[in-house]
Amino acid sequence: MTNSIIYKITPEDAWQAARANGIFEGAPIDLADGYIHFSTAEQARETAAKHFTNQDNLLLVAIDATALGDALKWEPSRGGALFPHLYATLSMDVVLWEKPMPLDENGVHQMPFEGA
């Protein structure tokens, strides 16, 4: 795959704790599965709806996928689509930005980037 930016949806408090430690080891689901789940821009909205319904205080974190090397694998998931999975911890030096994902009046997360 050639997507150079991938995204992680995470609760803000968990992300701030990871920032303080300098490394993100993953959310509970990541730890259980053995890899950190990411989405492409096209997949992020559905990921939010499926796994984070009505959750407040979420961040969308943009990651430089090219900096992750061979630890990043593109594997089939929802509907056979290829999703990026990181088989390593995430270093903060590959984070491009982090932005809030507020809920709109219908309880839908607003994606802080174009094209999602």
Q: For position 17, what pLDDT does the model report?
A: 93
Summarize pLDDT for 2-51 with one digit per residue, the tens.
579 999 999 999 999 999 999 999 988 899 999 999 999 999 999 999 99
Q: For position 80, what pLDDT does the model report?
A: 87
Q: For position 114, what pLDDT does the model report?
A: 58
Q: For position 2, what pLDDT does the model report?
A: 52
Higher pLDDT, 1 or 80: 80
Give the separation between CA 94 and CA 80, rounded to whole angstroms: 27
Question: Quick check: 116 pLDDT over 50?
Answer: no
Q: CB–CB of 43/81 below 8 Å?
A: yes
Alpha helices in the chain (DSSP H): 12-21, 28-33, 41-51
Taking the whole predicted model, whether its pTM rises above 0.85 is answered as yes
Summarize pLDDT for 67-85 with one digit per residue, the tens.
999 999 999 987 889 999 9
Which structural domains are found in the chain, ordered by start?
Answer: 5-100 (3.20.170.20)
Give the separation between CA 77 and CA 84, rounded to whole angstroms: 10
Question: Quick check: 87 pLDDT over 90?
Answer: yes
CA dihedral 27, 78, 39, 87 (to 10 degrees): 50
